[in-house]
């Protein structure tokens, strides 16, 4: 499993650490790269727990999926055309899109989730007419190559679902038993 993680300023630390740690527990995470389209080499999450060293270039052939944590970073995602183009690049190359919290809403706003069902953090002001496929009664959802999670508390479940989809249900169950022993 090879993941490019799109990190923007004030990403939700819990989401990034929860998902990546869960994926790492599978023993199948071959490559994880933290990418920032603004060419910043150190990015802090919203809780400023630690900084992430990032790169400013990537080769899409090297990755199976892109992971986009949410938090306040989703506000930047909405207006950062370079970041949105990166996501579109993954879509156009039939790669998995993994996003959570407010990031799926930002992708919907950018018309990158137009025909996909997804879950997201319940942001006030999100109109059903603008994002008609938003589902509110699930923690994690899969629609084709889109895997979405509701928010920080769903980080482990999102990671487990990614393992199930990209590796196997058996491996996901094995990791689950270790996490929820």
Mean pLDDT by 10 residues, the chain (181 residues): 96 95 96 94 87 92 97 94 97 97 93 89 66 87 97 96 98 96 83
Strands (E), 45-139: 51-53, 65-68, 96-100
Q: What is the pLDDT of residue 173?
A: 98
Q: What is the pLDDT of residue 175?
A: 97
Contact by Cβ (8 Å): 10, 73: yes
Q: What is the pLDDT of residue 49?
A: 85
Q: Give me the residue spans of the domains in the chain.
A: 2-179
* Cα 90 versus chain centre, distance: 12
- The class (CATH top level) of 2-179 is alpha beta
- 29-47: string of b/e by CB count within 10 Å (b at 16+)? beeebbbbbeeeeebbbbe
- Per DSSP, the three-state class of 163 is helix
List the structure tokens of 29. Answer: 């995470």
Q: What is the pLDDT of residue 115?
A: 87
Q: What is the pLDDT of residue 51?
A: 85
Q: What is the pLDDT of residue 128?
A: 54
Q: What is the pLDDT of residue 124?
A: 67
For residue 124, which phi and psi values (nearest 5 degrees)? -65, 140
- pTM attached to this predicted model: 0.94
Q: What is the pLDDT of residue 3?
A: 98
Contact by Cβ (8 Å): 150, 130: no
Under 8 Å CB-to-CB from 135, ≥6 apart: which residues? 117, 118, 119, 141
List the structure tokens of 11. Answer: 């990403």
């Amino acid at each position: 499993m090879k993941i490019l993680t799109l990190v923007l300023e004030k990403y939700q630390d819990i989401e990034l650490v929860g998902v990546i740690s869960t994926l790492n527990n599978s023993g199948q995470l071959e490559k994880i790269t933290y990418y920032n389209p603004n060419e910043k080499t150190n990015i802090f999450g919203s809780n400023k727990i630690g900084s992430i060293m990032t790169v400013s270039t990537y080769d899409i052939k090297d990755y199976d999926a892109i992971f986009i944590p949410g938090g306040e970073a989703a506000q930047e995602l909405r207006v950062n055309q370079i970041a949105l183009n990166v996501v579109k690049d993954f879509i156009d190359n039939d790669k998995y899109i993994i996003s959570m919290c407010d990031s799926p809403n930002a992708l919907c706003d950018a018309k990158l989730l137009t025909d996909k069902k997804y879950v997201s953090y319940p942001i006030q002001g999100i109109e059903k007419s603008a994002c008609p496929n938003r589902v509110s009664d699930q923690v994690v959802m899969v629609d084709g190559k889109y895997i979405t999670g509701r928010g920080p508390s769903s980080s482990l479940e999102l990671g487990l679902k990614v393992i199930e989809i990209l590796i196997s249900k058996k491996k996901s169950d094995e990791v689950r038993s270790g996490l929820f022993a």
